[in-house]
């Protein structure tokens, strides 16, 4: 089963990441001003993760692939790492869809 890690940066912002059962980070959030906003971001991710329409696959100019997960208001909730192939990206999209709705939160803030 996957898990979220909730963190607080040295400059006072909160963020979270979703990790697979092998401890690999799959998705990173942006910065939030408060812990409550970050927790709401996790809940939003849990809600939208199972909808394939919320994922936008993209690629960089140097042919790396990544995806973003967007909320209903079109705000980016999370961004993936870069992938060398589209098939690896798609495997991690599937992992997020399966893991996020039930993932526990590890609060390291």
What dihedral do alpha carbons 40, 45, 46, 51 form, nearest 10°? Answer: 140
Q: Let me know: does 80 contact 86? Beta carbons within 8 Å.
A: no
Tell whether the model's pLDDT for residue 46 goes beyond 90: yes
Query: 51-76: per-residue pLDDT in tens?
Result: 999 999 998 989 899 999 998 888 89
Fold observed for domain 3-107: PH-domain like (2.30.29)
pTM of the model: 0.90
């Amino acid at each position: 089963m996957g898990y979220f890690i909730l963190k607080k940066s040295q400059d006072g912002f909160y963020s979270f990441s979703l990790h697979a059962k092998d401890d690999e980070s799959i998705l990173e959030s942006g910065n939030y001003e408060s812990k409550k906003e970050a927790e709401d971001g996790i809940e939003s991710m849990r809600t939208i993760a199972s909808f394939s329409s919320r994922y936008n696959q993209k690629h960089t100019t140097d042919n790396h692939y990544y995806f973003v997960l967007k909320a209903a208001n079109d705000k980016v909730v999370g961004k993936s790492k870069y992938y060398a192939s589209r098939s690896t990206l798609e495997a991690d999209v599937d992992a997020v869809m399966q893991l996020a709705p039930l993932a526990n939160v590890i609060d390291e803030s």
